[in-house]
Amino acid sequence: MANSPNLNQIIDLCLRGDQKAQEQLFHTYSGIMFSICRRYTNNIHEAEDMLQEGFIRVFGYLKTYENSGSFNGWIKKIFINTALRSISKKSITHEINGYEHLPDEAVEPEIISRLSEEQLLELISELPEGYKAVFNLYALEGYSHKEIADMLGMQESTSRSQLVKARRMLQEKLLNLQKIAV
């Protein structure tokens, strides 16, 4: 997808060190990128640190961006990589037992639609590190299990099993919310 001429102009100015353009780029993308950071972290403070780190990387690597691809995709990838770097430094608990018994598709779509985006982000962020990473990468970013396994340094089968567990844990949380609401 081609970038708008305005965006290309902002990128050019950023490359020349124009602070106003950098600020404009930040305000354009900070909200969406912050929601990504929220999904990969446990709390807002961590997410803010990640956003800060991600934007420093974006401005640092901006000269490597080639206009051939979508800037949205490029910046998103930087933030995902930043998140994964952060996760890899923490000890990821790969296995938590006890969620396999929940049936799939147990959550009605209405439950999700009734939730606010912030509530949903909060629920995702409460998942254990490993589950959260795999669920985000697979369900929300669209990576394959092979790619996730390469990125996180795990077996493909581990990625699959973690996805299942992440789903079920999230479904359980949603069901609990529904129960409380009722």
Partner 1 sequence: MNKFDKNIKDKLKGYSSPVNKDLWGKISANLPIQEQSTFKHWWLAMFSIAIVAVGFAWYLSWNHNIIQSNILKEDQKTADLYEFDSPTTEESGGVKNDTDLELSASSKTTIEQKAAASNMLQKLDLSNSNRTKTDVTNKSKLINKKVSLTTNADVFNTNLNVIGNYNSLDDQREIFDLKTTEKNVASLYEQYNTIVNKAKNLEFLKNNDQERLDLEEIDVLTYEIPQLNDDTNFEELLQSMSGKRLICPSFSNARFGVFIEGYYSNEISMRELSYNGPISEVDYLNVRNQTENSNYSYSAGMRLSFLLPMGFGAKTGVNYSQINETFKYVDPNSNRTQTVIIKEYIWENGVVTDSSEMTKQVSIPGSLNVVSQNKYKILDIPLLFTYEWGYKKRMYYSVTAGPMFNLKFAQKGKFLNPETLTPVDFTTNTGDYKAFNTNIGTSIYLGFALNYQLGHGTDIFVEPNLRHYLNKTTLNSYLLNQKYTTIGIGFGVKHKI
**Where on the chain is the footprint of partner 1 (CB under 8 A)?**
16-17, 19, 22-23, 26-27, 30-32, 34-35, 38-39, 48, 51-53, 55-57, 59-61, 64, 82, 85-86, 89, 104-105, 107, 109, 112-113, 115, 117-118, 120-121, 124, 138-140, 142, 150, 167, 170-171
Which residue, 115 or 177, is less far from partner 1 as judged by CB? 115
Q: How far apart are CA 65 and CA 150, in angstroms?
A: 23
Q: Least Å distance between CB 95 and partner 1?
A: 21
**What is the identity of the amino acid at 68?**
S
Rounded-to-5 percentages of helix, strand, coil across the chain:
75, 0, 25
- Spatial separation of the C-alpha atoms in residues 169 and 106, rounded to whole Å: 11
Q: Find all residues with CB under 8 Å of 64, minimum gap 6, and list them.
A: none
Task: Compare residues 86 and 159 and give the one whose CB is closer to partner 1.
Answer: 86
Residue whose CB is less far from partner 1, 63 or 179:
63
